């Protein structure tokens, strides 16, 4: 299994993602500059956090038009695993790979903390190593993580079990229905504001992100053979 981590001007969590895949899975993972095209040699793509293009205009709005995004969309349509974390989630929304939009945190402050989440769906390639309803601790760091969708879209997300993670104890940004992460209808494109790549060692304060990555590898090996 090979991972790609597209890097946009302003990305700052790309190295974290690369290191997490290397440390947890020990499989090939490479950075891909945003102007590159062609991701056919990779099986999974992680859009990292940061401030792509300085978040000018709107978070993720400019990165959505980077050349590499054509290949990300193609990979998603072919069923490959695509993950967007924080700014990556915002880019997936802007690209139309996930429904809804992102707004500034309702308190208008940047929030950085380790946040409890409830795992809502464990039948996905990204969550199969968790227990349904399990409370995990994953870091957050964002000023625009207030996920929004209209009532009809929220009803569809619930109907098709597309809400993957919810904030518990406190909603740090005001997102609708306490949503912290969602997946597309097909189940292969996931966006989340919390950072699992920052929860893979004890010295980071949590190891609850490890199973996010092991879930992906287990799914891939089960469906496509050895890594």
| Active-site residue set | 86, 195, 197
Neighbour-count burial of 108, counting CB atoms closer than 10 A to its CB (0-12 exposed, 13-18 middle, 19+ buried): exposed
**Strands 189-192 and 81-85, sheet pairing:** parallel
- CA nearest neighbour of 177 among 197, 195, 204, 156: 156
Q: And the tokens for 113? A: 């903390």
- Rounded to whole angstroms, the maximal C-alpha distance in the chain is 47
Judge contact between 75 and 45, C-beta under 8 A: yes
Burial of 159 (0-12, 13-18, 19+ CB in 10 A): exposed
Three-state SS at 65: helix
Place of tokens 């089960």: 222
Closest CA to 167 of 97, 106, 120, 98: 120
Closest CA to 72 of 61, 83, 62: 83
């Amino acid at each position: 299994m090979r991972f790609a981590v597209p890097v946009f001007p302003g990305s700052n969590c790309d190295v974290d993602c690369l290191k997490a895949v290397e440390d947890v899975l020990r499989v090939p993972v490479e950075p891909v500059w945003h102007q590159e095209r062609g991701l056919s040699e990779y099986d999974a793509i992680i859009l990292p956090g940061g401030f792509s293009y300085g978040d000018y205009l709107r978070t993720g709005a400019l990165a959505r038009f980077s050349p590499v995004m054509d290949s990300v969309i193609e990979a998603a349509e072919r069923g490959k695993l695509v993950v967007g974390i924080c700014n990556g989630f915002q880019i997936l929304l802007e690209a139309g790979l996930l429904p809804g939009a992102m707004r500034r945190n309702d308190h208008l402050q940047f929030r950085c903390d380790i946040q409890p989440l409830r795992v809502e769906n464990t039948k996905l390639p990204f969550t199969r190593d968790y227990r349904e309803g399990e409370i995990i601790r994953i870091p957050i760091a964002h000023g625009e993580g207030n996920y929004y969708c209209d009532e009809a879209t929220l009803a569809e997300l619930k109907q098709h079990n597309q809400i993957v993670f919810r904030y518990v104890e406190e909603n740090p940004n005001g997102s609708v229905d306490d949503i912290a992460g969602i997946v597309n209808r097909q189940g292969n494109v996931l966006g989340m504001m919390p950072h699992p790549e920052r929860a893979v060692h004890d010295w980071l304060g949590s190891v609850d992100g490890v199973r996010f990555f092991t879930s992906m590898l287990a799914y891939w090996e089960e469906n496509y053979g050895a890594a």
